[in-house]
Amino acid sequence: MKLEGTVIVVTGGGSGIGRAMALRFQRERPRALVIADLDGKRAEEVAREVGGVGLACDVSREAEVQRLVRAVEDRAGPIDLFCANAGIAIGGGIETPEADWDRIWRVNFLSHLWAARALVPGWLERKSGYLLHTASAAGLLTMVGALPYSVTKHSVVALAEWLAITYGERGIKISCLCPLFVNTPLLTGALTDLGGKSVVAAGTVIEPPEVAEAVAAGLDAEKFLILPHADVLTYFQRKAADYDRWLAGMRRLQALV
């Protein structure tokens, strides 16, 4: 997809990977670049940096996602690329309290469904539209010590696959971004949650602009899976090749945490 002259929305665009994507997209001269974030102030700050528009939006609420899409389309015309990127990290296992499950399920998974529901009908009429889902390597591989995060990110990968299969022949393009560790406030918070050791044990931390560069290349090539960390593909292939061996390796990794 060529981004020049397009209308782009980035959720969770006030920080980290979302902000880096907005900065990278701006270089391609889109017609409109909308930064949406729960934190409206940060959305506006980033919008000022990229010459776009900042909007406050809680993507965990379907009505707010519908409002966001309508507001952008009223002002700028049909959305060409919607990046469902907002997310949170909660560590813990089966004991995670119900309220935390509810929150992470809404923010990390349902927000992606709300985006698809708001956008797909119009895109089917136009026979064109691109949805980028920020999942995570945790959606392909499972993150040690973080059950709610792993489950919600697996769900995003499943939704993205389903959308790509169902609408791929009808003009709708889907990409699924699955980074490992990226140096953002989310990771810093998760490090505190998980004791930090899993990150050191499991791989390299890269910077948000590196992710944004991989996204730009992935969108240009219209690749379903965008993997800013090359190792993730190797781990994913090993998992598919021998699940039991992969599980044994993950247990060893857990012992290091």
Ligand X SMILES: NC(=O)c1ccc[n+]([C@@H]2O[C@H](COP(=O)([O-])OP(=O)(O)OC[C@H]3O[C@@H](n4cnc5c(N)ncnc54)[C@H](O)[C@@H]3O)[C@@H](O)[C@H]2O)c1
- CA 99 distance to own-chain centroid: 22
Residue 5 to residue 230: CA distance in whole angstroms: 31
Q: How far is the CB of 169 from ligand X (least distance, A)?
A: 28
| Neighbouring residues of 111: CB distance < 8 A, sequence distance ≥ 6 | 11, 59, 60, 65, 84, 86
**DSSP bridge pairs for 134:** 177
Residue 140 to residue 176: CA distance in whole angstroms: 11
Residues at the site binding ligand X, with contacts judged by CB under 6 A = 11-12, 14-18, 37-39, 42, 57-60, 85-88, 107, 134, 136, 179, 181-182, 184-187
Q: How far is the CB of 208 from ligand X (least distance, A)?
A: 7
Q: How far is the CB of 33 from ligand X (least distance, A)?
A: 16
Among 60, 150, 153, 198, the one annotated catalytic: 153
Q: How far is the CB of 11 from ligand X (least distance, A)?
A: 6
Among 130, 149, 167, 235, the one annotated catalytic: 149
Active site residue 235: no
Active site residue 111: no
Active site residue 150: no
b/e map 157-188, b = 16+ CB within 10 Å: bebbeebbeebeeeebbbbbbbbbbbebebbe
Our CB check for ligand X shows the closer of 13 and 124 to be: 13
Among 15, 60, 111, 136, the one annotated catalytic: 136
**So which residues are the catalytic ones?**
136, 149, 153
